[in-house]
């Protein structure tokens, strides 16, 4: 089987061109391919399929299960389409949470996320769904936090019967955040999480009556991202996740 490897700020994915619908979808195959010792190694696997005169992104976490929306995976998917010359400067594609518009602008991929009109504020946390569920905690000195240990406590808590992603967020300067994320389905911290940094940026923006700008800059372990948006009385719209997405290597593997 031919595969391609892509990464977006350290969040890495195996890409399969499955327009012929020949990939054998089962958890064992996917977990083996994503295994960093015995397979290719990745946070997830993405199938490219055809859909209504466009394309469909089918995303699986490294645990082998089809998952909710993946923001960095979506940006890598767009770069993959661009590299295969299946699009030019912009495209629309179908994901598990519906249709997404995206643009390629030199080194950057801009992915439009769905509008957000509900952000739940709890006791020292925020919760919102940016295509995937996210628990957001603002804290100090998050470089010292054991994200895998502390994130797992929340992910497996009774509060979230189906689990959640968990984000630890530190304000560095106005409109600049440092975000570390425990990802459900990977069951570990990843170098970056696209839906997670989107959730962090919107939770941050929801606290402020007068924003300095409609952009929030994000530092992750794997690099820098930006989230732009429009804010109104209904919530947030025209939300874009912006950052690099790069081809790493390709090859063939027996499955």
- Active-site residues, by number, are 70, 193
**How distant, in Å, are the alpha carbons of 40, 114, 205 from that of 171?**
35, 24, 12
**Distance between CA atoms of 45 and 231, rounded to whole angstroms?**
33
**Residue 181 near residue 166, CB atoms below 8 Å:** yes
116 token code pair: 């957000």
Minimal CA–CA distance to 195: which of 109, 73, 88?
73
Residue by residue, what is the 3-state secondary structure of 53-118? CEEEEEEEECCCCECCCCHHHHHHHHHHHHHCCCCCCEEEEEECCEEEEEEEECCEEEEEECCECC
**Distance between CA atoms of 44 and 194, rounded to whole angstroms?**
13
């Amino acid at each position: 089987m031919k595969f391609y490897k892509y990464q977006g700020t350290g969040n890495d994915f195996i890409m399969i061109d499955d327009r012929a619908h020949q990939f054998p979808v089962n958890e064992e195959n996917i977990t083996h391919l994503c295994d960093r010792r015995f397979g290719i190694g990745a946070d997830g696997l993405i199938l490219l399929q055809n859909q209504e005169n466009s394309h469909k992104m089918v995303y699986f976490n490294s645990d082998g299960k089809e998952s909710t929306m993946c923001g960095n995976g979506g940006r890598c998917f767009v770069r993959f389409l661009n590299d295969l010359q299946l699009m030019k400067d912009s495209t629309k594609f179908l994901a598990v949470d519906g249709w997404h518009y995206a643009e390629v602008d030199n080194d950057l991929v801009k992915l439009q996320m769905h509008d957000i009109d509900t952000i739940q504020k709890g006791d020292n946390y925020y919760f919102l769904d940016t295509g995937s569920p996210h628990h957001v905690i603002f804290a100090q000195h998050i470089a010292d936090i054991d994200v895998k240990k502390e994130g797992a406590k929340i992910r497996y808590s009774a509060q979230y019967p189906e689990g959640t992603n968990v984000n630890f967020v530190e304000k560095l300067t106005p409109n600049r955040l440092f975000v570390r994320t425990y990802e459900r389905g990977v069951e570990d911290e990843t170098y970056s999480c696209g839906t997670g940094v989107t959730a962090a940026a919107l939770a941050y923006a929801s606290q402020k009556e007068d924003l300095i700008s409609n952009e929030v800059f994000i530092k992750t372990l794997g690099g820098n991202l930006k989230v732009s948006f429009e804010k109104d009385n209904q919530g947030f719209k025209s939300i874009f996740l912006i950052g690099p997405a790069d081809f790493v290597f390709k090859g063939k593997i027996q499955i």
